[in-house]
Structure 1
Amino acid sequence: MANPQDDADTSKAPSATGLGEFMPSGADEPLHVRAAPAHANPYPFYSRLLSGAPIYREGPGEAWVVVSAAAVNAVLTSPLCLTRPAVNRVPEPLIGTPVAEIFSRLVRMNDGEIHCPLKSAVTATFEGLSERRIADLTADLAKDLAATIMPESGGERLNQFVSALPAQVIMSLLGIPADSFSDVSRWMGDYGAAATAAVTGVPTLTAAILQAGADSSAKLLDLFRSMVEALRVDDCSLFAMLSRQAACSNRLDADLVIANGIGLMAQGFAGTSALIGSTLIALARHPDVLAAARRDRAVLGLAIQEVLRFDPITHSTLRFVARDGFVAGQEMQANDMIIVTLAAASRDPAINPDPDSFDIFRDHRRYLEFGAGVHACPSAVLATTITEIALSHLLDRGIVCEGLEERVSYRPSSHVRMPVFGV
């Protein structure tokens, strides 16, 4: 699922070099892949890239861009590709701050020896979380939240609901007290802003952003340390489950468990919110599917699966080459950066025939929203279940989907497609 710390610097436009030539964008297209997630309709641009070379380079010494499904899978599963540069795993401005205490220990940001036991613990934790538990909790929280916000009353209220519900569900599952939800949400925003700015340079990492991130990260760490101390044998929270799974390995300490408890929020908040919003837009653009969903809520699950392919949340992710070698058939050098365009790959006709058609009954659907290989995201059931219950509740409250697609814009981001609804 989407990780805001994957955002790449959007300040450089590509040039023609490498395995294939970059084809200049048309007037109504993104300038380059890192501008695509916030574009109103980036998919003709992706289709055009797919008609060219599967890999191209933005310029001498600049990033490689991988677009075809085969090449994307090859990169995601290559042992030569790391999620962070081997020589700069933690961005220099973060070193020595509480932000780095979290960032440096995330399973998402680690490769090598520590990754395997850490990923096993995280995956086993999600496997122990029942879909029914997620659905029941989401339904209860949606009812209370909607009664306060009234999301059917306009775009701003809808944005609030779509943003707050996944955060509340995930915090509740982790065992965070409800009276701390507001503070924790704010702290997570500050942490994410500092980490993203340090990784990408967008926005510029100011002293104020770094200080807010450090202060909020320290508060998050303090909260989770207190949760470790309060763990009980009969505790069935997601954080307790993660702690017990980690205890099965003698290589995972409390600091790793704490960081990845926080990491579950970093991964889940924005990505799940975006999936709710994107599915609402899909329903608005396809009245037949909306009508079917109003009659039968089971249609929502089918629609969500097609949205994950057709208009995914995570448009790209980054990889870094560990040492000289061949990746996806292309010779690369140590420390080369690769922009892996998951959204383009999901529109590749080689894996999804007639890729530009929205078909909730599509046979053998394949998408890469949750990645592939050792860093595949294990939270698919969590994200899709929260989304389905949220949408069902919005339909129950009589939300008017018609016209939403005309009042949507997308938050500036280099890799996450985050809808924002207007009034």
Structure 2
Amino acid sequence: MSSIPVLALPSHPDPYPAYQWHVSQEKIRFDEGTQCWIVAQFNVVQEILSSSQFLVRPLSAQVPPPIAGSSAGELFSLLIRMNEGDKHRLGKQVLQTSLNQLDLRRLDSVIAEVIEDLSRRYDINKADQLNAWISHLAVSVIARLCGFSHSELEQICLWIDEFVQCFSPISTPEQLEAASKSAVSLMSSFQTLLSSAGSDPDSFLSQLQAEAKVIGWDSGSALLANLVGLLSQSYEASAGLMGNTLIALYHDPALYTELQQDLEKLPQLIKEVARHDSPVQNTRRFVKSDGEFYGASLKSGDCILLLLAAANRDPASNFDAEKLVLNRSDTHLVSFSDGRHACPGETLAVRIVSAGLHHILTSLTHSSSNQTEAYPLAHLHWTYKPSVNGRLPVFQTYHKDEL
């Protein structure tokens, strides 16, 4: 039996032996500690993610009680990732279509602009500034695509950093209050952008509004909320994916050497790291109505904890699942969810993370006392941010007495 509480695994230094144990257990079992049903095997996780019998929120609490009635709670209630039916289907269709229609040359230009801007403000040779650079990249790119100016990006990132605390069950009352204030600021800022978006019919926001009108999706507060959601969903997940890829290269000098010889393989590596050390380690679903599922008697409202990180390493889904394989030909993963609630921004996230890592790996100078060190981040170590579902490295610099 695993001695590590399941919700402590995302921030544990090495959670994967415990995840292996969870995969080896029955298809679904009840965990007294979390009061949730646990599912870890890939095919069962995928089945639940694809079934309308399992909801993203319980019917009795569409908004988490700690933020119900607040501005953050109101925004939360409009997010397509937290809704079912037409609210989810139409909104996802609008976002997916608009993201698929992005001009890639324009996108790459925006990414390059943001990387240059961040690199003027942060020295990525210093651990604390590397953390800020990584965490701000994806949010800044998407905010810039939406039309925010470079001078506004830092404030947008600060608001998003505060707003995402409303998703965490371990946030303090003070953090939840700050999340609500930031929700108001973000909604107001996007409202200002949308009111002027028509002046550029080729802009992402103009195309988004046009698509919403064609589809028949509410383009008022729901559209505003889901623009905020696009930023918040990319925030920690993209930063975690970038950080975990840097750590994978630290652990495998041969892989780092191979990648340095061909940086075009970065997207392949990022997808494999998303499987092997997922930035999103688990997600929840709630039972819609009473029924049997693989011998378990489920009741309406029951919570099911899906261990995505365990499923990704299920040997039944991927050959040599415990190994990180750069040239894996047939990858099966659920890090970006699956089925009805699969992330519409997966391709965008991989493109942003790839560009960010390309910059880091070609720009970093050796900061350790050993200048012959092959890997430019060898002077760093890391811990993981406290989180019940995200694997989010926080880099730190070794002090001389630790070397």
Q: Is 1:196 aligned to residue 196 of structure 2?
A: no
- Going from structure 1 to structure 2, the CA distance change for 1:94 and 1:330 (only over 3 Å counts) comes to same
Separation in 1, partners of 2:60, 2:271: 38
SS of equivalent to 1:422:
strand
Alignment RMSD: 1.9
User: In structure 2, the residue corresponding to 1:35 is in which secondary structure?
Assistant: helix
Name structure 2 gaps, 5 residues minimum. 367-374, 398-403
Number of aligned residues: 389
Partner of residue 231, structure 1? 197
- Partners of 1:125 and 1:238 within 8 A in 2: yes
Cα shift at 1:361: 1.0
Q: Choose which of 142, 145, 148 in structure 1 pairs with 2:115.
A: 142
- Separation in 2, partners of 1:234, 1:364: 41
SS in 1 for 2:356: helix
For residues 386-397 of structure 1, what are the structure 2 equivalents within 5 Å?
386-397=352-363
Distance change (3 Å), C-alpha of 1:101 and 1:144: same
Change (3 A) 1:354 1:142: same
Cα displacement (A) at 1:148: 3.1
Q: 1:351–1:366: 8 Å Cα contact kept in structure 2?
A: yes
In the alignment, which residue of structure 1 is the partner of 2:158?
186
In 2, Cα distance between the equivalents of 1:86 and 1:367? 28
Higher relative contact order (CA 8 A, sep 6+): 1
Q: Which residue of 1 aligns with 2:315?
A: 349
Residue 319 of structure 1 is aligned with which of 274, 281, 285? 285
1:409 alignment counterpart: 383
1:175 partnered with 2:147: yes
Q: Confirm whether residue 106 of structure 1 aligns to residue 79 of structure 2.
A: yes
Measured in 2, the distance between the counterparts of 1:121 and 1:78 equals 22
Structure 1 residue 117 and structure 2 residue 117: aligned? no
Equivalent residue for 1:163? Answer: 135
Q: Look up the match of 1:80.
A: 53
CA gap of 1:329–1:140, structure 2 versus 1, over 3 A, is farther
In the superposition, relative to structure 1, how do residues 162 and 32 fare at CA in structure 2: closer, same or farther (>3 Å)? same
Return the alpha-carbon distance in structure 2 between the equivalents of residues 340 and 235 of structure 1: 41
Amino acid at match of 2:381: R
How much does 1:406 deviate?
A: 6.3
1:51 aligns with 2:24: yes
Q: Aligned in 2, Cα 1:141/1:72: closer, same or farther, shift over 3 Å?
A: same
Q: Name the counterpart of 2:101.
A: 128
Distance 1:281 1:61 in 2: 30
Partner of 2:68: 95
Aligned-residue offset at 1:91:
2.4
Distance 1:139 1:60 in 2: 46
Deviation at 1:403, TM superposition (A): 5.5
Report how far residue 416 of structure 1 moved. 0.6
Q: Deviations along 1:315-363, whole A, 9 cap, x unmatched? A: 0001011111234563311000010111100001111011111110112
What residue is the counterpart of 2:264 in the other structure? 298
CA shift for structure 1 position 100: 2.1
Q: How much does 1:162 deviate?
A: 0.8
Question: What's the CA shift for 1:405?
Answer: 9.1
| Aligned pair partner of 2:44 in 71, 80, 92 | 71
| Other-structure match for 2:339 | 373
**Percent of residue pairs bearing the same amino acid type:** 30
Unaligned runs of 5+ in 1: 1-22, 26-30
Match of 2:328 in 1: 362
Q: 1:405 to 1:316 in 2, by over 3 A?
A: farther
- 1:60 is displaced (CA, Å) by 9.4
List per-residue Cα deviations over 1:54-88 (Å, max 9, x = no partner).
Answer: 22111299200100001101110111111011111
Cα distance between partner residues in 2 of 1:188 and 1:379: 17
- 1:419 and 2:393 aligned: yes
Whole-angstrom distance in 2 between the partners of 1:380 and 1:347? 20
- Report the 3-state secondary structure (helix = DSSP H, G, I; strand = E; otherwise coil) of the residue aligned with 1:320: strand
Q: 1:24 to 1:251 in 2, by over 3 A?
A: closer
TM-score when scaled to structure 2?
0.91
Matches within 5 A, 1:208-287: 208-232=174-198, 234-287=200-253
